[in-house]
Amino acid sequence: MRQIILDTETTGLEVSSGHRVIEIGCVEIVSRRLTGRVFHRHLNPDRDSDEAALAVHGLTRERLAREPRFPEVAAEFLDFVAGAELVIHNAAFDVGFLNAEIRRLKGEHPPIDNLCRVLDTLALAREIHPGQRNSLDALCKRYGVDNSRRELHGALIDARILADVYLAMTGGQSALELGESRPRRGANGAPSAPVVRNARPEGALRVIEPSVAELAAHEDFLARIAKASGGACFFRR
C-alpha cells in the first residue's frame, strides 16, 4: 500500500479570504516503510501572510518571491501523489487549500480528493484518544516522537514528524523488520537498546479471569471515558 504523508503551510487560515499555499511537504510510505522519496516545494503566493501565520512558519513574502508559483509545480506534485492514500493531520484544512489552488488551474486537473483517498489523522487520534489533546505536538509527546526541530512549522518537517506519529499510532514496527539497515533510535535520537525476545515456556497459556471487583472498576473507568468524550468510548463498541 502506498501512502503519502502530506502537510502544507499557508498565508492564513481562511481559503475563502484568498489565502494561498506557500509550502507543500510530502513523505512516501510503502507497506508501512519510509522509502526516502519526498516532494517538497516552497511557493510564491503573490501576497503577504497574516501576522499569526507568519509567526507560525516564518516565511515572508520577500523570502518566497523567487519561488515557483503553484501552476509551475502542479503537474509534478499531482503526479507524485496520484493513486496514493494521503495521510494528513486535520485533512479538511490542507485539502481545502490544495483544491483551491487546483481550481485556479481552470479545470486542467480534478480535485485532489478525486485523485487520492484521504486519511485524517486528527479524526483517527480523536477516535483512539477520546477527550484528550490530539494536536501533532501532543501526539509526539504521547508516542515518544522527537519534535525538537519544530521551533517553526515547516511542511516537510511536519510531514516527517507526522509519518513517525502515524506509524506509532497505528502499530509502528516499521524499523523492526528483517533487512533494516539503519540502527533503531529512541525519541531523543540516541541508538535504542536491541529487542530481547524471551523464550516462551512450553504448555498451555495461563488465563487469569478478572474478579467481580476488577470488572466493576473497569466498567466505572469506561463510564468516565464515555462521559468525558461525549459517549465516544472506543472500548464499548
Q: What is the pLDDT of residues 20-75, one digit of tens each?
A: 999 999 999 999 999 999 999 999 999 999 999 998 899 999 999 999 999 999 99
Point out the catalytic residue in the list 40, 42, 57, 153.
Answer: 153
From residue 237, how far is each of 90, 123, 231, 233 by CA, in Å? 24, 17, 11, 7
Cell of 116: 487520492
CA–CA–CA angle 130, 27, 149 (5° rounding): 75
Q: Write down the architecture of domain 2-169 according to CATH.
A: 2-Layer Sandwich (3.30)
Mean pLDDT of 85-103: 97
End-to-end CA distance of the chain: 28
Higher pLDDT, 121 or 218: 121
Task: Please confirm, yes or no, whether 153 is among the known catalytic residues.
Answer: yes
- Determine contact, residues 146/162, Cβ cutoff 8 Å: no
Residue 36 to residues 27, 28, 76, 218, Cα–Cα distance (Å) = 7, 7, 17, 43
**Dihedral sign (CA 219, 220, 221, 225):** positive
pLDDT for residue 218 is more than 70: yes
Q: Tell me what the pLDDT averaged over the chain comes to.
A: 85
The per-residue pLDDT for 78 is: 96
Cα separation, 222 vs 94, whole angstroms = 34
pLDDT tops 70 at residue 175: no
Range(s) of the chain covered by CATH 3.30.420.10: 2-169
Alpha-carbon distances, residue 215 vs 212, 222, 226 (angstroms):
5, 11, 16
Give me the residues paired with residue 223 across strands: none
